[in-house]
Amino acid sequence: MIKALKGVIHLKSSAMKQAVSELSVPVPWGEIRGKVWGPDHGRPVLCIHGWADNCGTFNTLIPLLPKECRYVAVDLTGHGRSSHRPPGVFYSFPAYVADVCRVVDALQWSKLSIIGHSMGGNVAGLFSALYPEMVEAVVLLDSYGFLPTDPKEIPTVMRQGMDGMLQFEKKTEEKKRVYTYEKAAERLLAVNPTLSERSARILLERGLVQVEGGFVYSRDFRINLKNIVRISLEQSLEMQSRIKASILVVLAEGGFEKIFAEHDQKKFISALLQAYRDRNHTVVKVPGDHHIHLNDPEVVAPLVSDFLRTKVLGRSDRQTDVQTSKL
């Protein structure tokens, strides 16, 4: 069955065990793809994946969350089955936020909640700060909503990003490496040790494209370049203060801070987390690694479910009670 609204294409597949649909939203350079779970008139929840992942990262978690919600998980531009940005264009958090705006506008959602993992949590935090009137609740999965950079380091990082783009453009004639499926899975697991083998195969469903001789990764290699748009801790805290939504931060004991964060960033992370607590938001830590929501969703699902039931489904005084999905 196909339904269309403002160019949104919504394809339902009866072959899937659960009621899951494929989403396509047209954008000036192509399309943003994604998946949809839940009833047509469920409370809107946008799910945003992390760097180099895709919307499959929510495949195991969403079935465990409240059935009254309408979950739309997107492949961010340059990831999964979504189109890549045009040649010469950088990837940055503000650009991803603009993409979220495009998706939300196409869905005709005036109110929504957001679940963001890792980089997706940073996109969720920035969107919630810039459009506070639209966001009812935010769940940050092993993410802090913002990732500050020392102002002294910003010029160096910006130059690295720009030099990286220029070098990339000189190599555009090079073809993507072709892998067997097994080698592609091995490579993903090697560079991302927080994924279980099952989780890696879930991400590869949208992360690979079959070509002559095997498979290539679908993501845009430019996402590997340094993000040239950075903000300081002071700017991050100012953005954070503008968020009106209720926030749940779920951190993994062996997650981002332990594996990825640099020494200076850990000081910034502590300041961000304290600011969440000072504003009466909820910060919890669970056993597991950076992809705990995908590897072992039963650890995360009760926390997220209780939060959504309390902050979203349990609030009958909000306009979102009559909010409906337009798909």
In which region does residue 288 sit, left (phi positive, over 0), alpha (psi from -120 to 50) or beta (all else)?
A: left
- Using alpha carbons, select from 198, 219, 69, 62 the residue that is nearest to residue 141: 62
Long-range CB pairs of 278-281 (<8 Å, 24+ gap) are: 279/240, 279/241, 279/247, 281/246, 281/247, 281/248, 281/249
Kindly compute the dihedral angle of the four CA atoms of residues 171, 175, 176, 178, in this order, to the nearest 10 degrees: -150
Which residue out of 82, 113, 118, 325 is catalytically annotated? 118
* 208-211/135-141 β-pairing: unpaired
Distance of alpha carbon 58 from alpha carbon 284, whole angstroms: 20
* CA separation for the pair 23, 10 (Å, rounded): 5
**Is 110 an annotated catalytic residue?**
no
What residues contact residue 243 under an 8 Å CB cut-off, 6+ apart? 125, 128, 129, 132, 135, 138, 145
CA angle 146, 138, 244 (to 5 degrees): 85
Where b means 16+ CB within 10 Å and e means fewer, 115-150 reads: bbbbbbbbbbbbbbbbbeebbbbbbbbbbbbbbbbb
Q: Would you call 251 exposed, middle or buried from its count of C-beta atoms within 10 A (0-12, 13-18, 19+)?
A: buried
Q: Three-state SS for 118?
A: coil
What is the set of active-site residues? 118
